[in-house]
Amino acid sequence: MILVLAGTSDARELAVRIKETGYELLSTVVTDSAAKSMEEAGLPVQVGRLTAQDLVSLIAEKGIRCVVDATHPFAEEASKNAMAASQEAGVPYIRYERESLSAPGSEKLIVVEDYVQAAELAAKKKGVIMLTTGSKTLKIFTDRLLGLPDTTLVARMLPRLDNMQKCEELGLEQKNIVAMQGPFSKDLNKALYDHYKVTLMITKESGKVGAFDEKVEAALEMGIETIVIGRPKIEYGEKFSDYDSVLTQLNQVTGGK
């Protein structure tokens, strides 16, 4: 059996390809909505966050022959847990990561290393700031931006109850929450920027599948300053950005089905 750590649309497609090749597999995701998507594709799925030790136990219980880590490029903890568990359990680890997109050259665009740098830079620039990096790191931005003079923070995130509760706990006003399921077209991004009169947009380099280019291109075409958070620097060893290469590597490390 192959363990596929998933949760994104391209991870789902990869899991489908692995199953169609003839491998028995189990996928894991964090949210119920992601689980529903996997189930609709006919894929066995387990829901919930897994520590490295959880994964070691799962590998032993299910007789896992290989771990395919297809988690989001910014799911740093999940990838580190997967690598540690694979090493401890003595099974091969394969990393699939959607292709990175180079940020278009523009004097309006600044690339930073992490969320803290992005928040501190935004605090210096002020204005109407649209945050499109999700809820997980929202506190980093609310701590530095809420209550700052001449500054409005607008947060765009998935329309989930826990996200709305987090916004309320952190003091983000309801009128400044955009709760929508993406991906978004360039035109829709422009409409949102225009509606809120955005002067600064913050995003992370998630790749084309994550609609990174539409967000950034829309902002730059409107003359909106953009802060891009670079991907975490993780030593995966060899990694692949296309399904065929993953399948070839999977055949090599497992000896085939």
How far does the chain reach from its first CA to its final CA, in angstroms?
Answer: 9
pLDDT above 70 for 100 = no
Whether residue 207 is found in the same domain as residue 118: yes
User: Is the per-residue pLDDT at 210 higher than 70?
Assistant: no
Query: CA dihedral in degrees (59, 64, 70, 71; nearest 10)?
Result: -10
CB 223 within 8 A of CB 108: yes
Range of the domain at 155: 109-229
Residue 206 and residue 131 share a domain: yes
Residue 133 within a domain: yes
Residues 240 and 153 in one domain: no
Give the pLDDT of residue 226: 94
CATH of the domain at 178: 3.40.50.720
In a domain, 141, yes or no: yes
Mean pLDDT of the region 67-96: 93
Per-residue confidence band for 237, with pLDDT thresholds at 50, 70 and 90: confident
User: Tokens in use for 66?
Assistant: 């290989």
Tens digits of per-residue pLDDT, 160-196?
999 999 999 999 999 999 999 877 899 999 999 999 9
pTM of the model: 0.69
Q: Show the tokens assigned to 247.
A: 């399948």
- Domain harbouring 90, CATH code: 3.40.50.2000
CA distance 164 to 179: 8
SS (H, E, C) the chain: CEEEECCCHHHHHHHHHHHHHCCCEEEEECCHHHHHHHHHCCCCEEECCCCHHHHHHHHHHHCCCEEEECCCCCCHHHHHHHHHHHHHHCCCEEEECCCCCCCCCCCCEEEECCHHHHHHHHHHHCEEEEECCCCCCHHHHHHHHCCCCCEEEEEEECCCHHHHHHHHHHCCCHHHEEECCCCCCHHHHHHHHHHHCCCEEEEECCCHHHCHHHHHHHHHHCCCEEEEECCCCCCCCCEECCHHHHHHHHHHHHCCC
Domain count, the chain: 2
Is the same domain home to 124 and 208?
A: yes
Same domain, 148 and 135: yes
Share of the chain above pLDDT 90, in %: 75
For position 104, what pLDDT does the model report? 58
In angstroms, the Cα distances linking 54 to 15, 92, 209, 211 are 21, 17, 29, 32
**172: nearest Cα among 163, 181, 185:** 163
Is 176 within the bounds of a domain?
yes
Q: Residues 194, 160: one domain?
A: yes
The predicted structure's pLDDT at residue 211: 54
Whether residue 119 sits in one domain with residue 81: no
